[in-house]
Amino acid sequence: MANQEDNFKKVISHAKEYGYVFQSSEIYDGLSAVYDYGQNGVELKKNIRDYWWKAMVQLNDNIVGIDAAIFMHPTTWKASGHIDAFNDPLIDNKDSKKRYRADVLIEDYVAKIDAKIEKEVKKAEKRFGDSFNKKKFLETNQRVVEYQEQGKSILSRMARSLEKEDLADVKALIEELDIACPMSGSKNWTDVKQFNLMFGTKLGASAENAMDLYLRPETAQGIFLNFLNVQKSGRMKIPFGIAQTGKAFRNEIVARQFIFRMREFEQMEMQFFIQPGTQKEWYEHWKENRMRWHLSLGMGEDNYRFHDHEKLAHYADAAADIEFRFPFGFKELEGIHSRTDFDLGSHEKFSGKKLQYFDHETNRNYVPYVLETSIGLDRMFLAVFSNSLQEEELENGTTRTVLKLPAVLSPVKAAILPLVKKDGLPEIAKEVIDDLKWDFNVTYDEKDAVGRRYRRQDANGTPFCITVDHQTKEDQTVTIRHRDSMEQERVSISDLRRIISDAVDMRNWLKKI
C-alpha cells in the first residue's frame, strides 16, 4: 500500500516537474480537484483526443461529430433525470469530520477482497507453473469461491439498497462490514444522505430576470438535443452515431486522486442510435470495439478488465466499465451504457417535440435506442501517464527515469541535439528542425552533456533523440537514439522523416483496432 502511494506521488510530482499537469491557481494555494495542463500536458491531451476522434469519427462512415455548448436550457436536466437523481450517497465520520461516498467505502472494502483473490491466484500460478488454469482455479478453489461470493453479495445488497433509496441499509451495511474511516480509523458514522453533483449558475444581467442554469455534468445531453438536427441535415440512417468531446462539471465530494476525479474535466462521448431490440448486439459490439481501441496503445492486456454494473443508472438497461490498473488499483476508465430510449423519450415528453426516426424499410416511426461509450479524457491521460512512468535499472548499476508513452501520443516526437555548441553543428541541427517541424512536434536542446540531454528527453517521454556530430558535416548522417531500447543507429538525414513517421503515425497504431 505504501508502495502504491509512493508511486502515485512520483506520478504527480513528475507530471508537475515536466510541464504536464499543474494544480489550478497554485499561487493562491490551489483549488481542490481542479487542474491545469502545461506545455507537454496539453499536447498529450490533444493527441489522446485526436486518437479517439479519428477512431470514432474519421474511421466510421456512420459516425459524425458535433460541438454543443456547455450551457443548455435548464429543462434539459429535469428531463435527463439529473435534477432528481444525479446524487452521491454521502456519509461523514463524526470524529475525523471527513466526508466519504458511502458506495465508494463499500466498493473499496470489496476491492480488498479482490486483492486477496489476486494474491491466491499469484500463489497458485507460482506453484503450478505452466499447467495453471486460472479459470478453473477461480471456479474450484474453496477459499477463492467464498471470497468471490462474499464480494458479490455485498455489492448486490448495496445496489439493491441504493436502487430503493434505502440509505439506512447502506449505513447498516457499512457498520456490519466494520468499515472504519480511512483517515482516522474511527467507526463513528453519521446517517447516509444524498447530495446533488451539479454546479448551478445564472444567465442574465439583473437578479429578477436571471435564469437558473447548470454547468453540464455530461456532454451526452448536447448530443440528444441535436439528434434530429444531425439526422436530418446529415441524412443519417440508423444505425448511426454522434460523437463529441468537451468539458463537463461535477461537484465531486471525494476528490483526492489527482486528475482521476476532478470537478472540471473533459469527456469523449459517442451516442450510437439504433433500432429498439438490437441493443444487446450493439452493446457487445461497442464493448469489444472500445477494448480494442485501448489495447491498440500497447499498454498491456493485463491492465484492463470489464466490470459489469450491478447497480444501473436511471437511464440504462445494461452497463459495463472498462477498468484500468491505476497506481491505486483497478478503477473505472470508460463506461459503455445501453441507455434505451430513456433520453430521447424523456426530451420528447418535456419539450413536446417529436424526436423520432422514420424507418423507410419498415415504414414506421420510432424513438431510437441508444448505445453510449463515454470516457474521461483526463482519466485516460492519467492511465497513459502513470503506466508509462518507469524507473529502470541499467546494466551499469545506475537507474533512469523514463516516460514510455506510446510514441503516437508523445507530446514531442524528437529532440534534435548538436553534440557540441560550436563548429556549425547547432546550425545543422536547426536545419533538421526546420525540415521536420512541418510534420512533427520537435524540440532543440544544446544544454549540458549529451548523456544528460538523453535522460531529460527520456523523462519527458520523447521517443527519439537525433544527434548532429562532426561526421554529419562529412556525410549528412546523424545518430538516432530510441528512447525505450536506448539503441542508437546512424542514419541519413533524408531518412529521418520516414523513420519517425513509421513509429508515430496514427495510421499505423489505429490499424491495430
Q: In this chain, which stretch among 53-61, 206-214, 262-270, 410-418 interacts with ligand GAP, using CB under 6 A?
A: 262-270
Which segment (87-95, 136-144, 239-247, 333-341) binds ligand GAP by CB under 6 A?
333-341
Q: Does 334 bind ligand GAP (CB under 6 A)?
A: yes
220 is a contact residue toward ligand GAP (CB under 6 A): yes
Convert residues 13-32 into a mask of x (bound to ligand GAP by CB under 6 A) and - (unbound).
--------------------
Q: Choose, by CB under 6 A, the member of 294, 379, 413, 453 that binds ligand GAP.
A: 379
Q: Which stretch binds ligand GAP (CB under 6 A): 74-82, 137-145, 146-154, 260-268?
A: 260-268
Q: Is 252 in the site for ligand GAP (CB under 6 A)?
A: yes
> Are residues 301 and 295 in contact, defined by beta-carbon separation less than 8 angstroms?
yes
Which residue, 171 or 379, has its beta carbon nearer to ligand GAP? 379
What distance in Å separates the CA atoms of residue 404 and residue 388, rounded to the nearest whole number?
5
Q: Which is nearer to ligand GAP, 43 or 218 (CB)?
A: 218
In the bound state with ligand GAP, the residue whose beta carbon lies nearer, of 88 and 445, is: 88
In this complex, which beta carbon is closest to ligand GAP, that of residue 319 or of residue 466? 319
Burial class of residue 444, CB neighbours in 10 A (0-12, 13-18, 19+): middle
- The verdict on 250 binding ligand GAP (CB under 6 A) reads yes
**Grid cell of 349 as nine digits:** 415528453
Residue 375 lies near ligand GAP (rule: CB under 6 A) = yes
User: Taking CB under 6 A as the rule, does residue 267 contact ligand GAP?
Assistant: yes
CB of 260 to ligand GAP, least distance (A): 6
Helix (H, G, I), strand (E, B) or coil at 423: coil
Q: Which is nearer to ligand GAP, 262 or 425 (CB)?
A: 262
| Residue partners of 383: CB distance under 8 A and separation at least 6 | 299, 324, 326, 333
What 3-state class would DSSP assign to 130?
helix
Secondary structure (3-state) at 50: helix
Taking the chain, what is the end-to-end CA distance rounded to the nearest angstrom? 35
Which residue of 89, 335, 418, 463 would you call a contact of ligand GAP, by CB under 6 A? 335
| β-sheet bridge partners, residue 414 | 442, 464
Alpha helices in 271-367 (DSSP H): 279-295, 342-351
> H helices within 316-443, ranges in order?
342-351, 377-388, 425-436
Residue 189 or 293 with smaller CB distance to ligand GAP: 293
- CA distance linking residue 290 with residue 427, whole number of Å: 46
Size of the site for ligand GAP (CB under 6 A): 19
Strands 389-393 and 35-37, sheet pairing: unpaired
Q: Does residue 317 interact with ligand GAP by CB under 6 A?
A: no
Decide whether 224 or 440 has the Cβ nearer to ligand GAP: 224
Q: Does 261 bind ligand GAP (CB under 6 A)?
A: yes
If one asks whether residue 343 binds ligand GAP (CB under 6 A), the answer comes out as: no
Looking at beta carbons only, is 250 or 453 nearer to ligand GAP? 250
3-class DSSP state of 397? coil
Question: What is the helix (H) or strand (E) element at residue 393, kind and residue range?
Answer: strand 389-393
Cβ distance to ligand GAP smaller for residue 45 or 379 = 379
Residue carrying the nine cell digits 473505472: 332
450/440 Cα distance (integer angstroms): 22
When asked if residue 374 is in the footprint of ligand GAP (CB under 6 A), the reply is yes
The residue within the footprint of ligand GAP, chosen from 151, 241, 376, 411 (CB under 6 A), is 376
Q: Give the residue closest to ligand GAP by C-beta.
A: 376
Task: For ligand GAP, give the closer residue by CB, 267 or 462.
Answer: 267
Give the C-alpha separation, 268 to 254, whole Å. Answer: 22
Q: Which residue is it, cell 527520456?
A: 458
State which H helix or E strand residue 298 sits in. none
Q: CB within 8 A of 284, min separation 6: which ones?
A: none
Burial class (CB in 10 A: 0-12, 13-18, 19+), 194: middle
Under the criterion CB under 6 A, does residue 271 sit at the interface with ligand GAP?
no
Residues of this chain, 398-457, that bind ligand GAP according to CB under 6 A: none
Residues that bind ligand GAP (CB under 6 A): 218, 220, 250, 252, 261-262, 265, 267, 269, 332-335, 372, 374-376, 378-379
